[in-house]
Structure 1
């Protein structure tokens, strides 16, 4: 009988992968595919100006890393330092515009998963 070997499982470090192509990124806001937009933010709470192909690649990494853990029809924030996925605040809530409250909207009540699938 074949068994899955825990030693054969390699958890990807999404944050490290993203930093390879966007070294100063701290937060990735992944919008639904229908909007075809991804925003990356630096530690100063301002958006990074990057090319569209890089945005798409970063969004793909986040979606792949968290798979079905999130409802990708809604926007999500991936916080690189803690490898945590959050539900993005709505436009009328604090944190939607990260520099407004300087929290990136990272509230425990919005947290979905930590570290690529660990609750």
Structure 2
């Protein structure tokens, strides 16, 4: 398991990038703290496979209510990752499994 954030590291509406995988395949993801808890997604737009963020750790629309693709302006639901508007409407982001404990938020993917 990989520690993504310690307790209280991210406030609601904040995001954090992370990398995971093996030496053969490193992937990029991001963690978002929503009002409903934490979600993690692969940092890849389902439309063209590009990274979503505007700048480092900047994944949300200006109002903070949706995840926004910097390239195509697609908008995704924070909690489900479902594309709500844009060229990939109806296609979801790839959600990554988390384990949340009193010690932090962990990526629940075993790295070999």
TM-score, length-scaled by structure 2: 0.38
> Larger % of helix: which?
1
For the pair shown, the structure with the greater C-alpha radius of gyration is 1
With structure 1 as the length reference, what TM-score do the two structures score? 0.36
